[in-house]
Chain A
Amino acid sequence: MLIIGIGNRHRGDDGIGSWVVQKLREQSLPVEIIEHCGDGAELMELWKSRDSVVIIDAVQARSSLGDLYRIEAHKDEVPADFFHYSTHAFSVAEAVELARVLDQLPPLLTIYGIVGENFKMGADISPKVKETALKVVDNIIDDIRNKE
């Protein structure tokens, strides 16, 4: 299993992917955990030949701060504007959908998207986003332990 926390830890709620990575690393889990900036082409390379991949990222959606979306991306489409915040020209949603078209998705790809609102440079992560992220951490740990 490969776990990828996406985002920029210096831009407020966008840093939640990195924050989750830190929390998971404290648990000595038998999986590879990495932080990533979210460049789509790189992501496609990273999940090639992987059986199971989990992605955590901040999202902008028309719902409340801290809301959690869990997408089983190997079978469900990722909404195009979901990772709207990304400043990359070719980012997570594009990478997932392009990989689907090219038959290059891992057999299992779970995406946790946590709704953020403050993406300003130097801002702190919103408490509600952290609260949801803790549930994501527990969820991922449970999934890993259940597979053991």
Chain B
Amino acid sequence: MKRKSRTIKVDYLARVEGEGALYIDIEEGHLKDVKLKIFEPPRFFEALLRGRRYSEAPDITARICGICPIAYQMSSSHAMENALHTTVDGQLRALRRLIYCGEWIESHALHIYMLHAPDFLGYPDAITMAKEHPDVVKRGLRLKKAGNEILKIVGGREIHPINVQVGGFYKAPSKQSLALLAEELKWAQDAALETVRWTAKLPMQDFQQDYEFVALRHPAEYPFNEGRLVSSKGLDIDIADFDLHFEEEHVEHSNALHCIHKGHGAYHVGPLARYSLNFDQLPPMVQQVALENHLPKICSNPFQSIVVRSIEVLYACHEALRIISEYEVPPKPAIEMQAGPGIGHGCTEAPRGICYHRYELDEKGNIMDARIVPPTSQNQKMIESDLRKFVSQYLHLSDEELTWRCEQAIRNYDPCISCATHFLKLHVKRN
């Protein structure tokens, strides 16, 4: 017999960065509505950038997030260089990839081990998981630290690094300091391989969605900083055309704008999209590990994102070691920039997906207009779509289990609500 009225309220959904709430309305045994409400206060970063020097954008925007500051520093630096007709290449470009490796490793390791894995094993949190799997949790923490060490050496410190500037860096690291990093990264690469094998064996929901994946694609490498924007449904554009194809819309229930692909609707950014659109750009060793662990080349099961993140950690360790082995200290830590007018676009692959920036500069190089589209606001509509389909399949579950499954489905996206505009409260209303 269907229950006529049922209301579940979970005041605090843990293991999500930021403040938000999930509202589920079930009427007569049918799902009526799903809303991911973000009540994180608006941050006004775009407004406070106006009037500031072009050179200030990397340090100001890095403050948007303590977990993925590199994404903001890289997207803003590339956008400014694009506006001022400068290209950063050689060892400076390689150092930018290296620092991004650090961010992917620390962000993904935290999410895999501390935030997401407990869902799969039925633990309420990482602490309870650590009681039965202490060595696994220690491995996760050490992996995260390996990523942080890259940020510290290349970026000056782990959180909100201070060594990044438009045109390159304030100081280039010595060969010796990077060689020291390599020792721990060799351990990290082995640990990442163990992470893939461990996550691939986790009990997995069979849930597939017909996603439009959107990610950067570069002709010669797995994307961090550069490439064209491509999608699994035929999009292939220069990043400068982002606004022609994507638009942000305000929805009443969220302080974060919802981004849609014009004429198509919701789309998916992040590890699943990157991997599925760039599998062939992974080194043969990483491809082999993915296939050996039964990960398809195109992965449409968001619950498998934990395995894909592990693959990306493996790739990031491998790539970091390659960059370090080929590193020579650049003659200058940065290219000298000439301030001037222009419009510039930057789009880079944050751990959670593409982070798009656009700036308009006046003749003195001051910012007249700024636009920042973080990954979580792009995924927000997709998360709601996943939940709509997912909840419809699991209406028979108890409130407690349904809540747990929904939280797991949200965490598939490792949403950073702080970025998108913090606590996620869950309300399930059953009538």
Contacts and interface: CB of A to CB of B under 8 A. Distances in A.
A75 interface: no
Interface stretch (B10-18, B174-182, B246-254): B10-18
Contact of B144 (A41, A81, A94, A102): A41
A39 B159 contact: yes
A89 B12 contact: no
B137 interface: yes
Nearest to B16: A89
A88 B126 CA distance: 14
A78 B222 CA distance: 43
B423 A42 contact: no
A91 B16 CA distance: 11
Nearest to B106: A41
Contacts of B159: 37, 39, 42
Contacts of A97: 127
Q: Give chain A's interface residue range (CB within 8 Å of chain B).
A: 10 to 19
Contacts of A121: 41
Contacts of A39: 66, 159
A44 interface: yes
B158 A102 contact: no
B379 interface: no
B108 interface: no
Q: Which of A90, A97, A121 has the most CB of B within 10 A?
A: A90
A97 B15 CA distance: 15
Nearest to B145: A45
B137 A102 contact: yes
Contact of B130 (A41, A89, A101): A101
Given A94-B125, A98-B126, A88 B17 contact: yes
A10 B19 CA distance: 16
A102 B113 CA distance: 14
22 contacts: A37-B66, A39-B159, A41-B114, A41-B141, A42-B158, A42-B159, A84-B12, A87-B18, A87-B422, A87-B423, A89-B14, A89-B15, A89-B17, A89-B110, A90-B110, A90-B115, A94-B125, A97-B127, A101-B131, A102-B137, A102-B138, A121-B41
Given A39-B159, A40-B114, A101-B131, 19 more contacts: A41-B110, A41-B141, A42-B159, A87-B17, A87-B418, A87-B422, A88-B17, A89-B15, A89-B16, A89-B17, A90-B15, A90-B115, A94-B114, A94-B127, A98-B127, A101-B127, A101-B130, A102-B134, A102-B137
Interface of B: 12, 14-19, 41, 66, 110, 114-115, 125-127, 130-131, 134, 137-138, 141, 144-145, 148, 158-159, 418, 422-423
